Amino acid sequence: MTADRRERTIGGHDKAPALNASAGGFADLGPRVASAVAMVVAALGTLYLGGDAFALFWLAAAFAVSWEWQNLIGGEGRAARIAVGGAAVAAATAFGRVAMPGAAALTIALLALAGGALAGAERRVWAATGVVYAGAPAFAVCLLRESPEVGALAIAFLFAIVWGTDIFAYFGGRLIGGPKLWPRVSAGKTWSGTITGVVSGALLGLGAAYLGGGPQLASWPVFMLGLAAAAFSQIGDLFESSVKRRFGVKDSSRLIPGHGGVMDRLDGFIFACVFAATVGLVRGGPSVAAGLFFW
């Protein structure tokens, strides 16, 4: 891909680049805020309800991620790959609700291989990666939410971290400015914004733990875990940006105004949630979510 090639949307239409973030502009703030508020209300509402409502919300979100990914990379067998990704997401959601990580990992891996086999030679790894990218968070988020006693708190903890990191990185980068974090992948990200976002996200996560579980949960290890989760959320953002850049796509879809698609909105949460579930599984304890808070 040549350096002067214009980025395109999934629909194949050329689109002028968005306002350069380095200019410190806030022209995209309106649609970002409006769509973010709608998503926050839906996410918090289903978190409160739990059970089927929560699982269905994240099943739909993960399926949208799978659909966007397979459309983004293009290639042959697209419809079949989307169906395979949907099956992986559905299985991951079901296994997450009953805490069966082994079955989830095996099923996602087998369906990832199937998805890769349906793609052309140049896209097999990418197609398989997309199945894992959508299936892993579907499993992780349900696994954490279904944990007894502190399952809802674990998700609220992650929401506070990821949303806080995103918001403060956005404003920190535009108000402080300075050197770019990785301009070849993300033209707008700065070191100042990333550091501001990560620290702020970890502090907000600590606050969520305190409000939801009392001072005994607002510990130094929980803050350090929050820092790591916030850093992973930024890595997730960079990963998704690198994939779009690799395929010459600006927006993963137009489903969410101001955010360029579901992948754009969930990239940080995907990495943070899978990281948190992995920590909880490795630590053991009465539940996966409990492994995040009790040290």
User: Domains in the chain: how many in total?
Assistant: 1
Question: Does residue 228 form part of some domain?
Answer: yes
Question: Does residue 97 form part of some domain?
Answer: yes
Higher pLDDT, 8 or 254: 254
Taking residues 196-211, what's their average pLDDT? 98
Chain-centre distance of CA 164, in angstroms?
14
- The count of other CB atoms within 10 Å of the CB of residue 24 is 12
Taking a C-beta distance cutoff of 8 angstroms, is the pair 10, 68 a contact? Answer: yes
Taking a C-beta distance cutoff of 8 angstroms, is the pair 66, 88 a contact? Answer: yes
Question: Does residue 208 form part of some domain?
Answer: yes
Distance in Å from the first CA to the final CA of the chain: 49
Question: Does residue 11 form part of some domain?
Answer: no
Asked if the model's pLDDT at residue 267 lies above 90, the reply is yes
Question: Does residue 17 form part of some domain?
Answer: no
Question: Does residue 88 form part of some domain?
Answer: yes
Taking residues 232-243, what's their average pLDDT? 95
Which pLDDT band, with edges at 50, 70 and 90, does 177 fall under?
confident
Residue 184: predicted pLDDT: 87
Which pLDDT band, with edges at 50, 70 and 90, does 8 fall under?
very low
Q: What is the domain range of residue 264?
A: 28-293
Question: Does residue 6 form part of some domain?
Answer: no
Instruction: For residues 225 and 228, give the distance between their C-alpha atoms in angstroms, rounded to a whole number.
Output: 5
Asked if the model's pLDDT at residue 142 lies above 80, the reply is yes
- Mean pLDDT, the chain, integer: 89
Asked if the model's pLDDT at residue 118 lies above 60, the reply is yes
Residue 258: predicted pLDDT: 58
Segment 72-107, tens digit of pLDDT:
999 999 999 999 999 999 999 999 999 999 999 999
Question: Does residue 3 form part of some domain?
Answer: no
Task: Give the global pTM.
Answer: 0.87
Taking residues 36-59, what's their average pLDDT? 94
